[in-house]
Amino acid sequence: DQQVKQNSPSLSVQEGRISILNCDYTNSMFDYFLWYKKYPAEGPTFLISISSIKDKNEDGRFTVFLNKSAKHLSLHIVPSQPGDSAVYFCAASLDRGSTLGRLYFGRGTQLTVWP
Amino acid sequence: DGGITQSPKYLFRKEGQNVTLSCEQNLNHDAMYWYRQDPGQGLRLIYYSQIVNDFQKGDIAEGYSVSREKKESFPLTVTSAQKNPTAFYLCASSPSNTEAFFGQGTRLTVV
């Protein structure tokens, strides 16, 4: 059963515009959320995270928003650049900071930024 | 350089053979993980280990085995019982269950 869901398998955005990637989760016990970026034939790289006690975290062009009541988070990329074209994975964890547990990943969204 | 090293990058296996994928990390992380990526499936957890000499099954452990004899190493064996082993395998490590750091992956193909 998929506890982290990314319902849009792909997103196409023009360079300079905003990219919004969405993620939903079902487990209300998740307390930490992460976004990873992945290029083909490479391992994912960590992008940005947010704790459940916050509703927004910003790092340069990347901002993650968390709506706990809706069990929804989103990643905003502004402005989008062609180099942002990759697969983006949403992930969640229980009991952040503990050495127990694991990350739960969504299926990913392929972002394509065109000139 | 600190990081996670997976080897080999490409691996070919004949049907019925076992094969072992290597994963080494020098980040001094306690936790290590093995994921499998298939098209449209995202990352699915095979096995994970929080400490040396201990590991737990993930969501798709059937046909796989692991060991964690050293903190730095977490090899994955794909056995002949795994019916569809062709996939991209990713190893990761983490100081806790927060940011996981991934290796570059191993592409396994059954021929």
Facing residue for A102 by CB, picked from B6, B97, B102: B97
Q: pLDDT value at position A103?
A: 86
Give percent of chain B with pLDDT exceeding 90: 71
> How far is it, in rounded angstroms, from Cα A70 to Cα A96?
21
Model confidence band, residue B2 (pLDDT cutoffs 50, 70, 90): low
CB contact under 8 A, A97 and B105: no
pLDDT in tens, B84-110: 999 999 999 988 656 889 999 999 999
The contact set of A with B (CB < 8 A) is: 6, 9, 32, 34, 36, 41-46, 49, 89, 91, 93-103, 105-108
B57-83 exposure pattern, b = at least 16 Cβ within 10 A, e = fewer = ebebbeebbbebeebbebbbebeeebe
For chain B, give the mean pLDDT: 91
Virtual CA dihedral for B26, B29, B34, B36, nearest 10 degrees? -80
Q: Calculate how close chain A gets to B11, using CA atoms only, in Å.
A: 13
Model confidence band, residue A96 (pLDDT cutoffs 50, 70, 90): low
Type and span of the H or E element at A64: strand A62-67
Q: Calculate how close chain A gets to B15, using CA atoms only, in Å.
A: 23
pLDDT in tens, B52-70: 999 999 999 999 999 999 9
Judge whether residue A114 has pLDDT over 80: yes
> How far is it, in rounded angstroms, from Cα A83 to Cα A76?
15
Give the pair of three-digit tokens for residue B78.
């794909």
CB contact under 8 A, B96 and A46: no
Half-sphere exposure of A76 (CA within 13 A, CB side): 13
Q: Which residue of A has its CA nearest to B43?
A: A105
**Backbone dihedral angles phi then psi of residue A86, each to the nearest 5 degrees:** -175, 175
- CA dihedral sign of residues B88, A23, A86, B91: negative
End-to-end CA distance of chain A: 38
> What are the Cα distances from residue B50, in Å, to A65, A90, B12, B102?
30, 22, 30, 16
Q: pLDDT value at position A28?
A: 92
A to B CB pairs, distance under 8 Å: 73
Chain A residues whose beta carbon lies within 8 Å of the beta carbon of residue B92: 43
Establish if B63 touches chain A: CB-CB under 8 angstroms. Answer: no
Model confidence band, residue A5 (pLDDT cutoffs 50, 70, 90): very high
Model confidence band, residue A107 (pLDDT cutoffs 50, 70, 90): very high
pLDDT in tens, A44-86: 999 999 999 999 999 999 999 999 999 999 999 999 999 999 9
Q: How much is the average pLDDT of B5-16? A: 92
Establish if B97 touches chain A: CB-CB under 8 angstroms. Answer: yes
Judge whether residue A99 has pLDDT over 90: no
Judge whether residue A100 has pLDDT over 60: no
> How far is it, in rounded angstroms, from Cα B91 to Cα B76?
9
Facing residue for B105 by CB, picked from A42, A45, A96: A42
Q: pLDDT value at position A97?
A: 60
